[in-house]
Structure 1
Amino acid sequence: MTSAFTTPTTRRRNDHQRRESTSDRLDASQPSSARRYDYWLGGKDHFAADRHSGDRIATAFPTVHTAAKENRRFVHRAVTYLTGEAGIRQLLDIGCGIPTTPTVHETAQRIAPAARVIYVDNDPMVIAHTRARTSSSPQGAVACLHADLRDPDSILNNPALTSILDPNRPVAVLLCAVLHYLHDQDQPAEILKRLKEALPPGSCLALTHATLDPLPSATALAVTELLGTGHGAIRPRTRAEVTALTAGLPLVQPGLVPVTRWRPHLPPQPHATAQATATYGLMAQLP
């Protein structure tokens, strides 16, 4: 790894700048993936367009509220593992979404008060809410970074990163319910490779990813028909596709599994089936 997470070139800068010019503006008339997710979780930070979009998706995939909640349970089991068993004290939560209780840093600092957490998102409303609602333990630190995963260097080369995280100590990167917003042209495998190359030995990567694999054919067809219409413009991937994305990453047991089957003995325990969540989860640890 080069020092301070940095590398010489930024390959997606122009595309990122074009996206940033629109993502910086809050448009309540258009659904937002972060606000829609907040709606499914039972939060309060959403608008009519988000609720309408969320309900449209729920007509095709009726357990989507359950899927959102089980994804959050996975996140907190992963953080419990990372700060407990793995002993990691630095976390980078990319695509963090609107804060929910408990937050990632609350879970981490409950186990390890000196844990240091950076939240990253490209949605200005997420950034505003995260900055307003997060306060660290006296021993640890919490920060928030407005950046886009599609341009990983905008995250890794940001001075705020090394003001909080030590680039010579293991870092846990959370990519939960975010990679399925990257379509194939965004080159998600290259983005994962870039992140992997920047991390010091012993670092971990936890991710979740939407899939149609366990769904009945009628449900899968209904969801597919919504994709690209503004209601759930995501790229679900099969088990084989997620495996290909993460090729070369040494997986922590039990490997790539439905989120409800990833270390279910840890709190908070899952309460749903693989079919109800339609989401894969995994943890990898770099040698």
Structure 2
Amino acid sequence: MSRSDRSLSGVDIDSSVVHSARRYNYWLGGTDNFPVDRESGDAIASRFPSVPLAARENRKFLGRAVRYLSGRGVRQFLDIGTGIPSAGPVHEIAPDARVVYVDHDPLVLAHAQKLLTGTTAYLHGDLREPDPILAGARDTLDFTQPIGLMLIAVLHFAKDHDQPLHHVSTLVEALPPGSWLAVTNATLDFAAPADAADARRMLGHEMEWRSAAELGRFFDGLELVEPGIVPVSDWHPDGELRPAPAEVSSYGAVGRKP
């Protein structure tokens, strides 16, 4: 029997069902998760010990991408699939920017309510329904000025049959010239055959791993920032020491809309 927990600002939360945002929060060392999320996270990490590292590397990519865009004059961001706002959210990396966070987990809503300011907003929405996101974002963001569209560790939850190419294209088309798209997506390109088979068995129902070529289709019409589509830890790294591609198992890239 499912249990509804209304302890966070009256928001209905089913603590008996695993949710990717809460599991991700657990891997990042956060506390905004339930036993079912921790059990799922531990089960996956027992087979793939580098999963928490991969989560942290995705988060580091977010930080580097936001700083990169901020350095090029971007002062507003649309962060879809934001997850629970912890471990360096966009508004902390770019405190002078306007930020709209989007997620469909009620627990994210409960925590995001604490962050709402004149320049930070939250929308309860889903990447697979871009039109309501765009409509709501216009209340906070100026669509005549460049926007950084952040799709960090969320695109791989959009299965190919969900038509993610169409949805991302709809979002990008709505952005003004000079805007940017930053994406990470899990991949099995660097996995040993046995690891790839187990990953598909354990998570294939919820994840869509993509090759570099497959991820590249989301950047059609955009100008890819060097070095292009690479393992997240290799995109504009802060130092020489970084994990091997097989440890992070995720591609990252940033593109500019001309």
Gaps of 5+ in 2: 1-10
Cα displacement (A) at 1:135: 5.8
| Aligned counterparts of 1:254 and 1:106: Cα–Cα separation in 2 | 26
Contact 1:39-1:51 at 8 Å conserved across structures: yes
Cα displacement (A) at 1:280: 0.2
Instruction: Find the partner of 1:47 among 20, 24, 34.
Output: 34
| Aligned counterparts of 1:206 and 1:270: Cα–Cα separation in 2 | 23
Contact 1:73-1:270 at 8 Å conserved across structures: no
| Aligned counterparts of 2:158 and 2:139: Cα–Cα separation in 1 | 28
Cα displacement (A) at 1:25: 4.7
Q: Which residue of 2 aligns with 1:81?
A: 68
TM-score, normalised by the number of residues in structure 1: 0.82
Q: Which residue of 1 aligns with 2:100?
A: 118
* 1:259 matched to 2:241: no
| Aligned counterparts of 1:283 and 1:44: Cα–Cα separation in 2 | 30
Q: What's the CA shift string for 1:71-97, capped at 9, x where partnerless?
A: 00000000010111x110010100000
Cα displacement (A) at 1:270: 6.9
Q: What letter matches 2:110 in structure 1?
A: A
Q: What's the CA shift string for 1:92-141, capped at 9, x where partnerless?
A: 100000011322101011xxx2x111111111110111222x265xxx71
Q: What letter matches 2:20 in structure 1?
A: S
Q: Which residue of 1 aligns with 2:255?
A: 284
| Aligned counterparts of 2:241 and 2:83: Cα–Cα separation in 1 | 21
| Aligned counterparts of 2:135 and 2:241: Cα–Cα separation in 1 | 36
Q: What letter matches 1:197 in structure 2?
A: E
Residues 1-287 of structure 1 aligned to structure 2 (within 5 Å): 25-84=12-71, 86-109=72-95, 113=96, 115-132=97-114, 134=115, 141-158=119-136, 161-228=137-204, 233-265=206-238, 271-287=242-258
Cα displacement (A) at 1:183: 0.6
Segment of structure 1 superposing worse, 66-75 or 219-228: 219-228
Moved over 6 A (4+): none
Question: Which is bigger in relative contact order (C-alpha 8 A, separation at least 6)?
Answer: 1
Q: What letter matches 1:149 in structure 2?
A: L
Contact 2:77-2:98 at 8 Å conserved across structures: yes
Contact 2:13-2:106 at 8 Å conserved across structures: yes
Classify the secondary structure of the residue corresponding to 1:69.
Answer: helix
Cα displacement (A) at 1:259: 0.3
TM-score, normalised by the number of residues in structure 2: 0.91
| Aligned counterparts of 1:225 and 1:81: Cα–Cα separation in 2 | 37
Q: How many residue pairs get matched?
A: 248
Q: What letter matches 1:143 in structure 2?
A: A
Identity %: 48
Contact 1:207-1:283 at 8 Å conserved across structures: yes
Root mean square deviation of aligned Cα: 1.7
Gaps of 5+ in 1: 1-23
Change (3 A) 1:270 1:281: farther
Cα displacement (A) at 1:190: 0.5
Contact 1:70-1:270 at 8 Å conserved across structures: no
Q: What's the CA shift string for 1:28-64, capped at 9, x where partnerless?
A: 1111000000010010011111011111211232100
Change (3 A) 1:209 1:195: same
Cα displacement (A) at 1:244: 2.5
Classify the secondary structure of the residue corresponding to 1:164.
Answer: coil
Change (3 A) 1:63 1:170: same
